[in-house]
Amino acid sequence: MDHDIPLYQQQLLFKDKLLENHRTLSYYDIHMQSRVLLFLRGTGSMKIFVKLPIVKTVTLKVDPNDTIKDIKMKINDKEHIKVVYQQLVFDNIQLEDNKTLLDYNIQQK
C-alpha cells in the first residue's frame, strides 16, 4: 500500500517517546519485533491571533505545518513589520524560526 505521506506529517513514537529524526534506532533501543507507532500530524489551515505591542490583534490564516518564520513573513506582509524585528511568544516561550506551530502544539481553539 503506497500512501506517499510527507515526512513533515509523520511522527514516530516508541515506548511513549517521540522519536527525533537525528537519533538512531539503537539510541532508542529499538530492535527486531519492536513496535513503533506512526501518527500523522494534522493538516489544513487554522486561524491564529497575533497581539502586537501597539495593542492590536491581527488575524492570520496559517497551516499547522507553517514555520514560525513563515508566520513572521505573513505578519510582515500584513502589518509591514520586518521579520528581523519580530519576536513571537507562546506560553511564555520565545518561538524559534525553524520550528512549526505543531512543534509547539499550537492549535486552533
- One domain for residues 21 and 57: no
Q: What is the model's pLDDT at position 68?
A: 96
Q: What is the model's pLDDT at position 97?
A: 96
Residues spanned by the domain of 54: 46-94
User: What are the CB-based long-range contacts (under 8 Å, 24+) for 12-18?
Assistant: 12/36, 12/37, 12/38, 12/39, 13/37, 13/39
- One domain for residues 90 and 74: yes
- Any domain includes 2: no
Stretches in the chain below the pLDDT threshold 50: none
Q: What is the model's pLDDT at position 29?
A: 92
Q: What is the model's pLDDT at position 30?
A: 92
Cβ(104)–Cβ(90) under 8 Å? yes
Domain count, the chain: 2
Q: What pTM was computed for the model?
A: 0.55
